[in-house]
Amino acid sequence: MPENDILEVDMGYVSDSKITNFDFHSYIPYTKAFNNNDEIRICVQQTDVYPYLHESFLYIEGDIEDKDKVKLGNNGLSFLFEQVRLELNGIEIDSSRMLGITSSIKGYLSSTPDNYYCYENAGWTFKNSSSISDTNGHFTACIPLKYWLGFFEHYRKILLNSRIELILTRSNSDLNALIKKSDDATTGSVNIKNIVWKVPHVSVDDSQRLKLMKIVEKEKHLFIPFRSFETYTYPELGNTKNVLWNLKTSTKLEKPRYIIVGLQKNRNNSITADKSEFDHSKLKNIKVFLNSNVYPYDNLNLDFTHNDFTLLYNMYTSFQESYYENGLRNPILSPKLFLSNAPIIVLDVSKQNDSEISSTIDLRLEIEADDNLTGVSAYCMLIHDRIVEYSPFTREVRKLV
């Protein structure tokens, strides 16, 4: 504490009572059917409330069919849904495809030993091999939406005079969410009984409400900056050791800041393998060509046969320090768990000359392995900037980036 502050003995008392209440309100879908391929819409229709979406979460309740043969895998509840979208006044502002893969990658990157139990309450079980269901196959979970969408993670303000809608799309199969318990298990399914969106409502005092009303009346345009998650897949790399993946060519202004690549071998729609885990597939090198820039600058020269993956682990641990800008590295995965559960490749491309990519984005991946990549699927998750502008008065929404 500065010396001047400890001498201010006559300083007055300031009471901060701008927020008078903070309550969670429940919103339920229009439909009660949550079958495969169904679209589930949940809407916050009251425009006279101040929702704080950063702390909102989904409460999910259901039963596992054939509970004696199969169980939910790690992050299995996310694999029950193929896509999640968020609409503001009828305009989609954020979405995430391949939700199970995307949330698994992001969870391994962002979770820490300190908040692991919060992830466990959302259906994560990789660290202690626990089960979120009881002996009858019944389960409940609370999934913070900031685990799924960048908007919920980064935007920490209330929304004014807006209609908000969350749209979930059920997966066409539940196999990726399940792991077999008995050798004779060949299939399985999950029956979702209830989904509730819990959204905090913020109540304010009269003076603060007047300030917020003036913002609306002045037709002021407000900005929503956040980072969005976009995932691509290469279903089969093929019988080769070298693959060139033309990932994306776009004229949009979205700027990739982080590129994360994960490989999986024979895990899709298989209850014998955990879909949330990734394989090293004897990867040797990987290069990302972003317009005229190459990441990483040097070759990795990985050798998983001799446990030479320390460069990869260091890239993984540096994500939290760079992404959250807190100067801390506190990863959930030890080197041993990283090797066995998620040897993902994290490429930090946040330091760019933005003027060079303002007109177009040309993104290519070069993957090199020591063995043939037969049966190996590749997933690439892009984390990029997004800015949305909206007017509380006219309810007009525009995506600037």
pTM listed for this prediction = 0.92
Whole-angstrom distance, CA of residue 50 vs CA of residue 56: 13
Q: Which tokens go with 391?
A: 């007017």
Spatial neighbors of 274 by CB under 8 A, at least 6 apart, are 73, 74, 126, 179, 267
AA letter at 343: P
Q: What is the pLDDT of residue 357?
A: 47
Single-letter code of the amino acid located at 158? I
Task: Show the low-confidence residues of the chain (pLDDT under 50).
Answer: 357
Could you tell me which of 81, 87, 85, 104 has the C-alpha nearest to residue 95? Answer: 85
**pLDDT confidence of residue 85:** 98
Cis-peptide into 392, omega within 30 deg: no
Name the nearest CA neighbour of 401 among 377, 385, 381: 385
pLDDT of 6 reads 76
Supply 15's token pair.
């009471």
Distance CA 317, CA 266 (A): 27
* CATH fold label, 224-387: Adenovirus Type 2 Hexon; domain 4 (2.70.9)
Distance CA 357, CA 362 (A): 9
Query: Which CATH architecture does the domain made up of 18-221 adopt?
Result: Distorted Sandwich (2.70)
- The whole-number pLDDT of residue 14 equals 65
> 219-228 pLDDT, tens per residue?
999 999 999 9
Predicted confidence (pLDDT) per residue in 149-197, tens digit: 999 999 999 999 999 999 999 999 999 999 998 888 888 899 999 999 9
Name the segment(s) of the chain with CATH classification 2.70.9.10.
18-221
Examine residue 200 and say whether the peptide bond preceding it is cis (omega within 30 degrees of 0): no
State how far the Cα of 229 lies from the Cα of 97, in Å rounded to an integer: 9
The answer to whether the CB of 264 falls within 8 A of the CB of 280 is no
